[in-house]
Amino acid sequence: MDDVELATGGGDGMTGDVAVLGVGMHPWGKWGRGFVEYGTAAARAALADARVDWRDITSVVGADTVRGGYPGYVAGATFAKALGWQGARVASVYAACASGAQAIGTARAQLLAGLADAVLVVGADAAPKGFFRPAGGDRPDDPDWLRFRVLGATNPAYFALYARRRMAVHGDTLEDFAQVKVKNAALGALNPHARYRKTVTADEVAASAVVADPLRLLDICATSDGAAALVLSTLEFARRHGAAAPVRIRAVSTVTPTYPNTVLDLPDIATDSAAAVDPAERPFRASVAYAAYEEAGIGPDDLSLAEVYDLSTALELQWYEDLGLCGAGEGAKLLRDGTTALGGRIPVNTSGGLASFGEAVPAQAIAQVCELTRQLRGEAGARQVEGARVGITANQGLFGHGSSVVAVR
């Protein structure tokens, strides 16, 4: 942990840290109400957790959803109005599944620039039933629209192709994929905010309906309603409000891919040619984590836990490798050895992951930081990682939106 301690520095001017004063969530599920209601509930919970009055918030950053009509594109102002106009600065961010991380990055930049001293970050969604589809209208310049309409490449089809690639290249098995679900379901059963709070067996995964071969229904995350919120502040504001040693955000990585990108990556339907240009040192997802490590002054060996984007069971195994928790092709072995389970060397998705929550798109990267915060505070109950000091998130948005946050205690 020496790198973490050295990177902390002395005074506020020596560090890029901001404090996580409060976390709040609205439980995930299918509630049949609007995203504003969910987000407002999460925001109020975060304010209560921070013990900060709404009128003391000097900026609101909303993570957007494209499914909320016009208000969905101005989520910051939508939540500010719902909580009661009080003059705060406002911003809204849309980056698909990375929206929450970019909202956190925006809030952190405002705090470090002296433009605000306490920022409320909120993400909420009311997702459609079934798998995601593009919004209506013709958009031939939108690669997400193209891969749905031209190829019929739905999200489950992409997840299945990625799983097949891991099976062909690394020898992963259906049993390996099923054990990811088994691990995450066991942890989600302990999380009061999770949508699915029931343990499952590998046999139950295998017996669930085939959605896109080789993946079964229980290999793929659902779509959900839900919300998450954070109160972030400067360290000086935190001290004035009685938080002498808060959880701190030390890095936010939102990097884009590097040419040539030689592996198919949602929603792209072709790779870049590497015939005349050598591939980058790291593929896209690995570069997201590397940028976060570099900014935070840590490495994979410093981590206590990780929250990763398990859209499918196979993708969680890929994130083990992209985070540098093991070498290429060793993700399944890490899982089999119990390394990523609670009590293992580096527990992954102690929240239960998207396997237990489902996708509430603008909220999920924020929810990951909520879990890190609870773990680093020692408030995770039966899910608690003993002695947690450093955590990382990994999430990815469409169109090359990287997403990784490092939190320390």
Task: State yes or no: cis peptide before 134, omega within 30 of 0.
Answer: no
pTM of the model: 0.94
Residue 270 resides in a domain: no
Helices (H), 189-272: 202-207, 235-240
| Per-residue pLDDT in tens (0 to 9) along the chain, 409 residues | 444 443 333 334 336 999 999 999 999 999 999 999 999 999 999 999 999 999 999 999 999 987 776 777 789 999 999 999 999 999 999 998 999 999 999 999 999 999 999 999 999 999 888 778 776 778 888 888 888 888 888 889 989 999 999 999 999 999 999 999 999 999 999 999 999 999 999 999 999 999 999 999 999 999 999 999 999 999 999 999 999 999 999 999 999 999 998 887 877 778 888 888 898 889 999 999 999 999 999 999 999 999 999 999 999 999 999 999 999 999 999 999 999 999 999 999 999 999 999 999 999 999 999 999 999 999 999 999 999 999 999 999 888 899 999 999 9
**21 belongs to a structural domain:** yes
Which CATH number belongs to the domain containing residue 42 in this structure?
3.40.47.10
Q: Report the C-alpha gap between 257 and 241 in whole angstroms.
A: 40
Query: Is residue 26 included in any domain, yes or no?
Result: yes
Given a contact cutoff of 8 angstroms between Cβ atoms, the answer to whether 227 and 41 are in contact is: yes
Task: Report if residue 338 sits inside a domain.
Answer: no
Q: Which domain holds residue 80?
A: 15-130+225-240
63 inside domain: yes
By three-state DSSP, how is residue 408 classified? strand
Contact present, 180 and 355 (Cβ < 8 Å): yes
**Counted domains in the chain:** 1
Place of tokens 């502040």: 233
| Residue 137 belongs to a domain | no
Residue position matching structure tokens 């290999």? 219
| Residue at 187 is within a domain | no
A 10 A CB-CB count for 69 gives: 10
- 100 found inside a domain: yes
Q: How does DSSP assign 95-118, residue by residue?
A: BTBTHHHHHHHHHHHHHHTTS-SE
What's CA 98's distance to the chain center, in Å? 7
The answer to whether 315 and 386 have CB atoms below 8 angstroms apart is: no
The two three-digit tokens of residue 130, written as one number: 């079934």
Three-state DSSP class for 378?
A: coil
